Chain A
Amino acid sequence: MQDDVILRISNLSKSFGPVKALRGIDFELRKGEIHAIAGENGAGKSTLMNVIDGILQPESGQIVLDGKPVKISSPTMAQQLGIGFVHQEIALCPDVSVAENIFMAKTNTSRSWLMDYNKLERDAVDVFRQLSDIDPSILVKNLSISNQQLVEIAKALTLDCRILILDEPTAALTETEAQTLFGIMRKLADQGISIIYISHRMVEIFDNCDRVSVFRDGQHIVTQNVAEIQPSDVVNAMVGRVIDNLYPEKQVASSDGVILKVSNLTEATRFRDVSFNLKKGEILGIAGLIGAGRSEIVKGICQLEGDVTGDVWLNGEKLNLRNYRDSIAKGMVYLSEDRKGDGVFLDLPIAANVSALKLEQVANGVGLIQSAMEDTQAATLGRKLNLKCGSLSDPVSSLSGGNQQKVALAKMLSVNPRLIFLDEPTRGVDVGAKSEIHRILRDQANEGVGIVVISSELPELIGVCDRVLVVREGRISGQVTGDEMTEENIMHLASVMDAQASVA
């Protein structure tokens, strides 16, 4: 058993200023295993990985690789030791071929004067033989996100790595793509490569990993064989308290009042003949594969993008919106799926973020912003959403993912909306905040606000929504309610056994 262990970390600590990010961590990685690491944001997962990759230096503790104590002083050294790290953010050169990206490190240290492109491509084909059939001469920018992820993995593999760290690699992948990735991970593990797999998603951990370690507040809580532990135990270990009810209660009784009615909504290329209703008190989900047109439909309804035809009624009033401003004025708002990209202003203060949708609300008659009003608004909504922050004048970038999302949500609520479209409302949000956000959505629905949730996480849709519409190739392919809301039914409607899903 001892010989199995390739990496052993003992009593490792790391602080940032007064804050202890890692406190006496012990961790063991065996040869050829897929080892999941779970923990909320801030639990110390990334810090530990950065220590293993030589990006950060620990204050104390020992790292033993293959029975020999090592000091990993830089990512380059980590590479030499056979440690490959695939970061969550893809860091490839988009204007350069796949082959060149994969062998960038080799090119960097090469002594020859001229580039041998043919050899690069031949070598790349060899690497990809075990992964996927990507053409190595293609430019990276022309690849799908999932294939770019594979290129990142291939890049790590070319460095003869024995330990591969994958940081939430499936965050941007569709279900099918993720399955392909898991297949590849298993193949690599069978070849004796040890994989550290960081993920939030219990299903992935339990379906694909051998062992799981849970971290919380910079401490190692537990390591178990996946077969010997329940998902709920992992979740409880992550949050440090028992979450007995992951999702809020569903709608009690159905009502007759219709908040939103959409009829024959069509856009030139992205969706056609979309018709549906949203009833009062109901949370409506929209499911579908990435690229099916889910986000496009709701963005079309509130005139954020696209040239849309068709009719929309809000609370019985037929809308004639020219742009998104009109939509906001009518009380129809959209929470973006890409929080950092277009959801919040990262370097602006929290209060200025919350007020952004309707500045008139915190200004006097002549357009002067009253900072007292702005602060009160942010404080009131912040309290309602249980926002944890220092000062309201701190930039949003100082907050954790979950709290950033609460700021984005507060921005929506600031205009007293009548209907909120939420696109991936809990992406990159830890378990605790996630269930708070779900609770808020249910409260809003109970208060009569229309709630439409788009999510790629089927358990979330099933747990939160009263009814789920499924979109496939720009059309609504069906809907499920009550007991019919199962992952199988939704996936079936989303893909309907067509070949399109299997082509990566």
Chain B
Amino acid sequence: MDNTVNLAQAGATDSTPFLMRLFRMRETGLIVIILALFLIMSFASPYFLTWANMRAMSMAFAVDGLLVIGMTILLISGGIDLSVGSVTALAMVIAGWLFLSGIDPWVASAMAIALCTAIGAFMGFFVTRVGLHHFIVSLAIMVIARGACLLFTGGRPLGLYTLPPEFKFIGQGSIGPIPIVIIIFLVFVIAFDFMLRRTTMFRKVFYTGSNEKAAAYSGIRTKKVIFLTTTLCSTLCGIAGIIYMARFGSAQPTFGLGLELTIIAAAVIGGASLNGGSGSILGAILGVILLSLVSSSLALLDVSVYWQDIIRGSILLVAVTIDHYLNKRRG
């Protein structure tokens, strides 16, 4: 009923002007908030606008950015993955453990990434073939992977002091003034953002998440799509784990505790829907940047660590609430 009413309206004004559309895009809103925060912090703390701080901040969100890419795509297809934190840690631990057993670090990394991919495929199998919910399957894997991390390390970080410098270069080096980590991050973001917007392959992810049955009735093999997005998310965890290992020069079994929540929060702030069918890489990355900016700002302002979680949680709630009302108005 209301729909037809809107239609009459839409028919009258042909298409929305570019500026209006830009204004309505969630990405624009996030950029404005980030810039505002940036401005405020530049005045609030003398250390904020320094090269060292900028570098540290971007390093902090760059690797998480890879995880949020995988999570966003998975959310769009209608899934969710709670195991990203533990699987990332597992990649680090396995690669470190293999390296310490005398295997070449590149080969060890490839094996660790392959293992993560296999974990993703394993979850994908349970979701698509057995028919369990993503939430439960990934919750189980989250616990299992964390247990495996502790098992392989005896609960202590593995010091990887003998990593060859060219390997550490991935995590610590830079080309000119730009850290390698940032370059990797940008390559992934641009590549996936482009693919998600433009390729037929990823369009099917939107179809599947928007209405799985309608997608099946369009000849799309939805189970395969979900299997692949689940696997992709874990593969990206593997890659992120390796980069973290190169950056820290160690493998930490307790790395990434609670990371899954930050990643999901970032994707949702960036516009991904928990019901599937919508989301964008750019938005999700802005979400990560926002959360990371808030964390480092709070740290710079000497806010207690305990307060930080409370503030970040509140930001998530506010962001999602605002978006909910904006959507209502648009709808």
Q: Which of B4, B6, B15, B211 has the most CB of A within 10 A?
A: B4
- Give the docked Cα–Cα distance between A345 and B14 (Å): 23
**Given the interface contacts A342-B214, A368-B198, A368-B199, does A348 sit within 8 Å of B207 by beta carbon?**
yes
Residue pair A325, B221 in contact (C-beta under 8 Å): yes
Contact of B1 among A47, A348, A357, A393 (CB under 8 A): A47
Contact of A360 among B200, B216, B277 (CB under 8 A): B200
Q: Give chain A residues whose Cβ lies under 8 Å from the Cβ of B9.
A: 17-19, 390
Chain A 45-60 interface 0/1 with B at a Cβ cutoff of 8 Å (1 = within) = 1110000000000000
Chain A contact patch, size range: 35 or more
Residue pair A19, B5 in contact (C-beta under 8 Å): yes
Residue pair B217, A367 in contact (C-beta under 8 Å): no
- Give the docked Cα–Cα distance between A391 and B20 (Å): 14
**Given the interface contacts A346-B210, A356-B218, A398-B3, does A19 sit within 8 Å of B15 by beta carbon?**
no
Residue pair B7, A400 in contact (C-beta under 8 Å): yes
Asked whether B134 is an interface residue with its Cβ less than 8 Å from the other chain, the reply is no
Chain B 199-223 interface 0/1 with A at a Cβ cutoff of 8 Å (1 = within) = 1110110110011011111111100
Residue pair A397, B217 in contact (C-beta under 8 Å): no
Contact of A42 among B1, B198, B207, B216 (CB under 8 A): B1
Asked whether A308 is an interface residue with its Cβ less than 8 Å from the other chain, the reply is no
Using a Cβ–Cβ cut-off of 8 Å, how many residues does chain B contribute to the interface with A?
A: 37
Q: Give chain A residues whose Cβ lies under 8 Å from the Cβ of B210.
A: 345-348
Nearest CB in chain A to that of B5: its residue: A19
Residue pair B278, A347 in contact (C-beta under 8 Å): yes
Asked whether B304 is an interface residue with its Cβ less than 8 Å from the other chain, the reply is no
B330 to chain A, nearest CB (A): 9
- Give the docked Cα–Cα distance between A391 and B199 (Å): 22
Chain A 359-385 interface 0/1 with B at a Cβ cutoff of 8 Å (1 = within) = 110010001110000000000000000
CB contact list, A378-406 vs B, under 8 A: 388-391, 393-394, 397-400, 403
B1 to chain A, nearest CB (A): 4
- Give the docked Cα–Cα distance between A352 and B202 (Å): 12
**Given the interface contacts A336-B217, A400-B3, does A19 sit within 8 Å of B8 by beta carbon?**
yes
**Given the interface contacts A348-B206, A348-B277, A394-B10, does A357 sit within 8 Å of B211 by beta carbon?**
no
Residue pair B206, A367 in contact (C-beta under 8 Å): no
Asked whether B13 is an interface residue with its Cβ less than 8 Å from the other chain, the reply is yes
Chain B 213-243 interface 0/1 with A at a Cβ cutoff of 8 Å (1 = within) = 1111111110000000000000000000000
CB contact list, A19-46 vs B, under 8 A: 19, 21, 41-42, 44-46
Nearest CB in chain A to that of B194: its residue: A368
Contact of B10 among A18, A356, A369, A398 (CB under 8 A): A398
B48 to chain A, nearest CB (A): 39
CB contact list, A136-152 vs B, under 8 A: none
B45 to chain A, nearest CB (A): 42
Chain B 273-284 interface 0/1 with A at a Cβ cutoff of 8 Å (1 = within) = 000011000000
Q: Give chain A residues whose Cβ lies under 8 Å from the Cβ of B7.
A: 388-390, 398-400, 403
Asked whether B162 is an interface residue with its Cβ less than 8 Å from the other chain, the reply is no
A337 to chain B, nearest CB (A): 11
Residue pair A369, B203 in contact (C-beta under 8 Å): yes
Q: Which of A45, A341, A346, A398 has the most CB of B within 10 A?
A: A398
Residue pair A390, B13 in contact (C-beta under 8 Å): yes
- Give the docked Cα–Cα distance between A327 and B217 (Å): 11
- Give the docked Cα–Cα distance between A294 and B15 (Å): 42
Residue pair B203, A347 in contact (C-beta under 8 Å): no
Residue pair A398, B211 in contact (C-beta under 8 Å): no
**Given the interface contacts A367-B200, A390-B10, A399-B7, does A341 sit within 8 Å of B1 by beta carbon?**
no
B16 to chain A, nearest CB (A): 7
Asked whether B166 is an interface residue with its Cβ less than 8 Å from the other chain, the reply is no
- Give the docked Cα–Cα distance between A93 and B11 (Å): 39
Residue pair B219, A324 in contact (C-beta under 8 Å): yes
Asked whether A343 is an interface residue with its Cβ less than 8 Å from the other chain, the reply is yes
Residue pair B16, A391 in contact (C-beta under 8 Å): yes
Asked whether A453 is an interface residue with its Cβ less than 8 Å from the other chain, the reply is no
- Give the docked Cα–Cα distance between A352 and B220 (Å): 14
Asked whether B2 is an interface residue with its Cβ less than 8 Å from the other chain, the reply is yes
A-B contact list, 24 entries, CB within 8 Å: A19-B8, A21-B2, A42-B1, A304-B217, A325-B221, A327-B219, A343-B214, A343-B217, A347-B277, A348-B277, A356-B218, A359-B200, A359-B204, A367-B201, A368-B199, A369-B199, A388-B11, A390-B13, A391-B10, A391-B15, A397-B3, A397-B331, A398-B7, A398-B10
Known: A348-B207, A356-B220. 13 other contacts (CB 8 A): A18-B9, A42-B5, A327-B219, A336-B217, A347-B278, A352-B207, A356-B207, A389-B11, A390-B7, A390-B10, A390-B13, A391-B16, A398-B7
Point out residues on B near A: beta carbons under 8 Å: 1-11, 13-16, 198-201, 203-204, 206-207, 210-211, 213-221, 277-278, 331
